[in-house]
Structure 1
């Protein structure tokens, strides 16, 4: 009876997976999940990976039971895009895969086992690792290798100079302010658009009492966690609005004017922090931001829209994780 019950439960999850790959589509993209540099990924291919995930991965079955398999479908499309971006970025950066290192990793194949239980506490990281396991393992490991090598190349020389204002920041006692997260988001994005049209307004706001500062310099080596944010990924003369820590501080938004981005000189700093492997990978993904524009891609709306601030796919344009706007204009900065 217990075995029968499990089979029925798994059958229900698999049936549900057929409905959770996405919803809605444009007439020009019927059957197509994404086209990246002319390479087509079909909805059927994404669905096949979703079905396999539910069959093979306990974490995928958890997501299916919570009606969250759309997260996996979106991540499949995201990694399809980022694979092409990292390949092109590595070529331009003069970085290649060390096949011996990848072969050594493949001997133990860290992607052969299910997503570790400890990782599932972080949904975003768990979904990423889940999709690594659905892909060709050598390709997934090679992509991670290239991302980390790109991060290691930039960390010693990357710094940004910026002015910023802050909305909804937690107090020193980590208490959230009395502001609605949606209101904080709207205010931060409105400020970004205002500063893009009038770059001097940020100094005036700070002089009038707004929380923030001008003339900040931040070396990537001093804060690997921050180096993975959009602050370090956009070119100079870009205004950004983003959340430094959305999980623990959902009301906290920063609007910043990036005045300078330096990548060609070693940064002198006494506050060097050794990045973790996860941080190094995240920094590597962020360093791909300037190269996304080198790839010609089209995403089926059922899988979302490209979000350069999150280096991710957002469910819709209304749900992107922030904005990046060039100074003296209202169009999004090219990434």
Structure 2
């Protein structure tokens, strides 16, 4: 049933900076949105920093031409720059809260495994400080996944559907609970499950999805594989980080490699974003908690619902 519901869940953080290379890469209280491309908690990302990084990126005409041939245009590159700035600040918070320390020597060693700074720069839209920042972020994500994944378990009410509208409707039904939800499960026994537990160590493909980043009581819907007629609706019943180890034959973390651990760790930035708050200057787009990216509003495919105190 797990595969029927989740299919090939592959909602991944797509980073334009690695399309070519091997690197995985207001108002109210707090800082003013004026002059800020994004605000993460109490930290502002200056617009001038984004513009400077864009100038550096566009100067790499050979890479830009290759990206253009793949349909990537300047606004996509700008949104990617803002995305990476947001993810970096979230990574700083995650590292601090989880006692993760990544040193300059660690970054140097990782760059060496990628062929050295010059080799990385040949396929990266940015300068060396930006490269080092990206490497630092992915090392934090890898260590975060290594630290948390073994005990990370999420119990969900979940359903697989064929369209976005059906997924949103199902998510709202699951979020509300009660007789309507009971009737939904009764009518869809082959494509839905109640109180189904996923383990990050046994289900790494699910651990990179919003299912593992949404708080208890929260619900959502998303498309696990963009472009396919397959959608997931879910409601988080329970979430724990101290679950007992899975049997060795079920532990799949060893097979996902470094890039898989990075993706699992990056998904754990979703709760951090919920905690500190992320605001993006509308000039650049909106922050999407499903994809963990800055997107144009028309690009947003899924959605999340906050916990409902009235759910029975």
What TM-score range do you get, normalising by the shorter chain? 0.7 to 0.9
How high is the TM-score relative to the length of structure 2? 0.77
Q: CA deviation at 1:164?
A: 1.4
Please tell me whether the aligned partners of residues 279 and 287 of structure 2 are also in contact (alpha carbons under 8 angstroms).
no
User: CA 1:199 to 1:243, structure 2 compared with 1: closer, same or farther past 3 Å?
Assistant: farther
2:105 to 95, 100, 109: 100
User: 1:91-143: per-residue Cα shift (whole Å, max 9, x none)?
Assistant: 1111111443222234522763433xxxxxxxxxxxxxx45667532222111
Question: In 1, distance between residues paired with 2:96 and 2:34?
Answer: 33
Alignment partner, residue 76 of structure 1: 81
Question: In 1, distance between residues paired with 2:223 and 2:178?
Answer: 21
Alignment partner, residue 205 of structure 1: 184
Question: In 1, distance between residues paired with 2:305 and 2:178?
Answer: 12
User: CA 1:238 to 1:139, structure 2 compared with 1: closer, same or farther past 3 Å?
Assistant: same
**Which blocks of at least 5 consecutive residues in structure 1 are unaligned?**
1-24, 116-129, 169-183, 331-335
Question: In 1, distance between residues paired with 2:72 and 2:222?
Answer: 28
Alignment partner, residue 46 of structure 2: 41
Alignment partner, residue 253 of structure 1: 231
User: CA 1:163 to 1:198, structure 2 compared with 1: closer, same or farther past 3 Å?
Assistant: closer
User: CA 1:87 to 1:327, structure 2 compared with 1: closer, same or farther past 3 Å?
Assistant: closer
Q: CA deviation at 1:320?
A: 2.2
Question: In 2, distance between residues paired with 1:190 and 1:131?
Answer: 40
User: 1:65-87: per-residue Cα shift (whole Å, max 9, x none)?
Assistant: 64612111001111111111111
Runs of 4+ in structure 1 deviating by more than 6 angstroms, as ranges, are: none
Alignment partner, residue 302 of structure 2: 322
1:312 to 288, 293, 297: 293
Say whether 1:109 aligns with 2:117: yes
**Which blocks of at least 5 consecutive residues in structure 2 are unaligned?**
1-25
How many residues align? The count is 272
Question: In 1, distance between residues paired with 2:251 and 2:118?
Answer: 29
Question: In 2, distance between residues paired with 1:38 and 1:111?
Answer: 32
Please tell me whether the aligned partners of residues 56 and 126 of structure 2 are also in contact (alpha carbons under 8 angstroms).
no
User: 1:240-266: per-residue Cα shift (whole Å, max 9, x none)?
Assistant: 21112225xx21111112111111133
1:277-292 maps to which residues of 2 (within 5 A)?
Answer: 277-292=258-273
Task: Between 102-111 and 73-82, report the one with greater CA deviation.
Answer: 102-111
Say whether 1:195 aligns with 2:174: yes
Question: In 2, distance between residues paired with 1:200 and 1:262?
Answer: 27
User: 1:37-95: per-residue Cα shift (whole Å, max 9, x none)?
Assistant: 343421x4433322322322533223346461211100111111111111111111111
2:130 to 121, 131, 136: 136
Please tell me whether the aligned partners of residues 198 and 328 of structure 1 are also in contact (alpha carbons under 8 angstroms).
no
More contact order relative to length (CA 8 Å, sep ≥ 6) = 2
How high is the TM-score relative to the length of structure 1? 0.72
Q: Which structure has the greater CA radius of gyration?
A: 1
Question: In 1, distance between residues paired with 2:185 and 2:214?
Answer: 23
